[in-house]
Chains A and B, each alone.
Chain A
Amino acid sequence: MTQDTLVSTLSYLEPILCGMVLTLVLRSKEAKRYRYLVALLGVKVLSSATCLGILYSAASWRHVLEPHIAYHIYFYVYWISYALEALLSLLVIYSIFKLAMAPLKGLQTLGILVFRWVAVISIAVAMGVAFSPHLNGIKFVVAMITQLQQTSSILTLCLLLFVCFAIRPMGLSHRSRIFGISFGLGLLAVTNLVQSAWLSHGSDMKATFSIVNGIAVCLTLFVWSAYFAFPEPKRRLIVLPTTSPFLRWNQISMALGDEPGYVAVGGIPPELFAPAELEVMRRASSKMAPPEAINERQSSLSAGSSAIIHSIPA
């Protein structure tokens, strides 16, 4: 089998496997839970099918699709789907993190807050790095999308590391779909980063890396198919020791977002109180005061407080 044949086979295998994973996700009735993964796979299937169709038409049916028009369409379909995939990858990581942290609500809220900031900064950095004197127009867009994809890959690896080592306190196991998806994403992220590093040192290995890339994509899709084909074990009951840092941080994080209580310290008009409340306050203050003061106050209150009480509507 020649190198070209292998690349073509892997190219045709990719949308088929994507379709298979999509079918399995829909069959497992988990599409709503993993909606961003479904969207990512959907974009992959559509873009792969369109790109393959264009490539095939440009090579075999030149009278139907002129090569220049074919390349024009291919260019935009490829880059738009690449940008969409980069954004959807970020959303998949976000949703996986949310699902993984679901039992620890406090840490989930805090983590989401941090994640959002990191995502916004990553997008800003991706745009900033792409601004360069020798990159303009299409090259700028390509550089920005590539940078975003690399940032998303680094975030994915951080998520994978977190899910793998904090799997027990979250009640998950290595057979959980959350771990399976994270592992697949991690595999894609590493391939992406290694490919970027490889290409930045020498572009003559593009064909070789297409094979490695194609194998990594197919392997990831196989892993996801396996995780969605078999039933997922139920989440374990989470039992943490009272000294667990997860528990402590969760409690602290839950308290962080609470609405504070308010105390009125002055400028309170008597209309705010009910007559019964005023009566309670009057009696309480009369009990607290010494007997001599009571006699003095009662004489003054007999005139004053009755005026206040009468001023409050019943």
Chain B
Amino acid sequence: MKTIVRTAVAALVLTGAFASTQISSATTSSKVAVARNSAMPVPMCAPDDPNACGIAR
């Protein structure tokens, strides 16, 4: 049990470490990779967007 838990944690940490190396930072890209722990749609348009960012669809 202890080994399974430790392996799972090590796998999580390694995945996170690898993923963090793949994120292009804001200084090199004009596109912001927004990732929030939620299934809600991310509002990426400006607040005064003429199409209301398609919220009514």
Contacts and interface: CB of A to CB of B under 8 A. Distances in A.
Interface in B1-57: 1-2, 5-6, 9-10, 12-13, 15-17, 19-20, 22-27, 29-49, 52-53, 55-57
A249 interface: no
Contacts of A70: 52, 55-56
Contact of A59 (B2, B32, B37, B57): B57
Nearest to A134: B30
Interface string A213-233: 110110010000000000000
A183 B38 contact: no
A193 B23 CA distance: 8
Given A79-B43, A157-B12, A200 B23 contact: yes
Contacts of B6: 164-165
B33 A147 contact: no
Given A160-B9, A161-B9, A193-B20, A142 B40 contact: no
Interface of A: 7, 10-11, 14, 44, 48, 51-52, 54-55, 58-59, 62, 67-68, 70-72, 74-76, 78-79, 82, 85, 129-130, 132, 134-135, 138-139, 142-143, 146-147, 149-150, 153-154, 157, 160-161, 164-165, 174, 183, 186-197, 199-201, 203, 206, 210-211, 213-214, 216-217, 220
Interface of B: 1-2, 5-6, 9-10, 12-13, 15-17, 19-20, 22-27, 29-49, 52-53, 55-57
Counting from the closest, the 4 A-B pairs by CB-CB distance are A214-B39, A195-B35, A197-B22, A71-B52
26 contacts: A44-B38, A55-B40, A55-B41, A58-B52, A58-B55, A71-B45, A74-B43, A129-B25, A130-B26, A132-B27, A142-B34, A146-B32, A146-B34, A150-B35, A157-B16, A164-B9, A174-B1, A174-B5, A192-B37, A193-B20, A197-B33, A199-B34, A200-B31, A201-B22, A206-B42, A217-B37
